[in-house]
Amino acid sequence: MTLSPTGAGYVPALGTLLADLRELVECESPSSDLAAVARSADLVARLGATRLGAVPERIVVDGVHHLRWRFGGSRAKPRVLVLGHHDTVWPIGTLARHPFDVTDGVLRGPGCLDMLAGLVMALHAIAALPSRDGVTLLVTGDEEVGSVSSRSLIEDEARSASAALVLEASADGGALKTARKGISIYELEILGRAAHAGLEPEKGVNATVELAHQVRAIVALGGGGTTVTPTAVVAGTTANTVPAAARVSVDVRAWSTAEQERVDTALRALVPVLPEAGLVLHGGINRPPLEESSSLPLFRQAQAVAARLGLPGLDRAAVGGASDGNFTAGVGTPTLDGLGAVGGGAHAADEHLLVDRLIDRTRLLNALLLDLLGRGVVGN
């Protein structure tokens, strides 16, 4: 890489970026395999120690390995949280079917876009800072399964930060993610009573019929950008028995906290339609929304930084999927998401990224960090 005294001329070494990314992709790290996640953490720690000149703090919660580099101590102000994860959705063995490959400027491999490239970009962009004081890099190991063990860690770090930068992949064409829907996850349990379906069905309370009534009521709660989606359903035991129990999972996505709370209240107010049927609601609000009010000032700052450096112009997008940026925004920390690689096919066999965009995206992250830390950026 090259680096001017102000950092404005920083250009990452593409070969080194790709070499680091290849190591991470080829170290398969499905969230559900704790041994694989631990091996991945070992690799991230080694690469990070090489690039950053510091060994991370390893935090193990419920068997999941998370890594944290905190530079400059708690007195360094302002403090910027850079957030990523090293777990992926791909099971061990995927690499044999979808190996790491770079052809015609397109890089493929399990987890390359979501979000191993963003993690590599973070290591290189932070390494190129003239001073890292004020930067915290947090790399978690369970984002793809809901960040159950890392949520408190993420929220605690965010509360002490003036800004959070999330290295998830960009939206289409490189757009930064300035809004994400919040997620609520529920399971509605229906209680009925079994009876012989041929001899005396009238003595039963049909949980499947009650389920049908409830699904109609649940779907009616959506609208105005809020989605309320019944998903997995289980009902009954045998073909000739009035079902005594049924369950339906419900996925709720909303742009605002007010909408999340409206749907939550409505679901808790559901009542049975059939006499003697019962309802038990499990679950609740899982991730708060990343509302645009939390991210627009940072987005405008990133636009200005990109313009000063002559980097590609930045667009913004609102997306339905959630990330750990929902948690940082939820505790009131200004948050900008989608700063990672540009590509497509996340969680799909066609997962890929555009190699030439790794350079400008890493430069943007480095320069935005400089700006946020108060050291300024000098344009070309």
Q: What is the pLDDT of residue 380?
A: 33
223 Cβ contact partners less than 8 Å away, ≥ 6 residues apart: none
d(CA 70, CA 57): 8
- Among 33, 117, 108, which residue's Cα sits nearest to residue 357? 117
pLDDT tens digits, residue range 312-357? 999 999 999 999 999 999 999 999 999 999 999 999 999 999 999 9
Q: Give alpha helix (H) positions in the chain.
A: 14-25, 34-52, 94-97, 117-127, 151-159, 207-219, 257-268, 292-309, 325-330, 357-372
Q: Are residues 164 and 293 in the same domain?
A: yes
Whether 212 shows a pLDDT value over 60: the answer reads yes
- Please report the pLDDT score of residue 74 as a whole number: 61
Asked if residue 103 is part of any domain, the answer here is: yes
Q: What is the CATH number of the domain that holds 262?
A: 3.30.70.360
Do both 39 and 159 map to the same domain? yes
The reply to whether 350 falls in a domain is yes
31 with 59, same domain: the answer is yes
Give residue 42's pLDDT. 98
Which parts of 92-206 fold into alpha helices (H)?
94-97, 117-127, 151-159
Q: Is 167 in the same domain as 204? A: no
Do 18 and 135 lie in one domain? The reply is yes
pLDDT at 5 (0 to 100): 36
Is 368 within a domain? yes
The Cα–Cα gap between 306 and 239 comes to 63
Residue at which a domain ends, from 287, 313, 330: 287
Say whether both 102 and 228 belong to one domain. Answer: no
Positions annotated as catalytic residues are 87, 143
Residue 76 has pLDDT above 60, yes or no: no
Burial, 239: exposed, middle or buried (Cβ in 10 Å; 0-12, 13-18, 19+)?
Answer: exposed
- Do 346 and 213 reside in the same domain of the chain? no
Average pLDDT over residues 186-214: 98
pLDDT tens string 124-172: 999 999 999 999 999 999 999 999 999 999 999 999 999 999 999 999 9
**Are 45 and 161 in a shared domain?**
yes
167 falls within a domain = yes
User: Residues, the chain, total?
Assistant: 380
Q: Are 328 and 155 in contact (CB under 8 A)?
A: yes
Q: Is residue 380 assigned to a domain?
A: no
- 138 and 23 in a single domain? The answer is yes
The total number of structural domains in the chain stands at 2
In the predicted model, is pLDDT for residue 378 greater than 90?
A: no
pTM: 0.89
With CA atoms as reference, report the closest residue to 184 among 297, 102, 298, 260: 260
Domain end among 287, 310, 345? 287
In the block, tokens 């962009």 appear at 125
Query: Are 282 and 351 in the same domain?
Result: no
In a domain, 2, yes or no: no
In a domain, 7, yes or no: no
Q: Cα(325)–Cα(14) distance, rounded to whole angstroms?
A: 27
Do 194 and 143 fall within a single domain? no
Instruction: Report the alpha-carbon distance of residue 338 to residue 164 in Å, rounded.
Output: 12
Which pLDDT belongs to residue 9?
77
Question: What b-and-e string marks burial along 331-358, b requiring 16 or more CB atoms within 10 Å of the CB?
Answer: bebbbbbbbbbbbbebeeeebbbbbebb
- Residue 2's pLDDT is 43
State which residues form the domain around 81: 14-181+289-372
- Grade residue 20 by pLDDT with cuts at 50, 70 and 90: very high
pLDDT band, residue 78 (cuts 50/70/90)? confident
Residues 71 and 56 in one domain: yes
Q: Tell me how crowded residue 106 is: count the other CB atoms within 10 A of its CB.
A: 15
- Which of 287, 322, 348 is the C-terminal boundary of a domain? 287
3 state SS of 181:
coil
Q: What is the mean pLDDT of the chain?
A: 94
Q: What is the CATH number of the domain that holds 23?
A: 3.40.630.10
Residue 101: inside a domain? yes
pLDDT tens, residue by residue, 269-284: 999 999 999 999 999 9
Tokens of 290: 């990343």
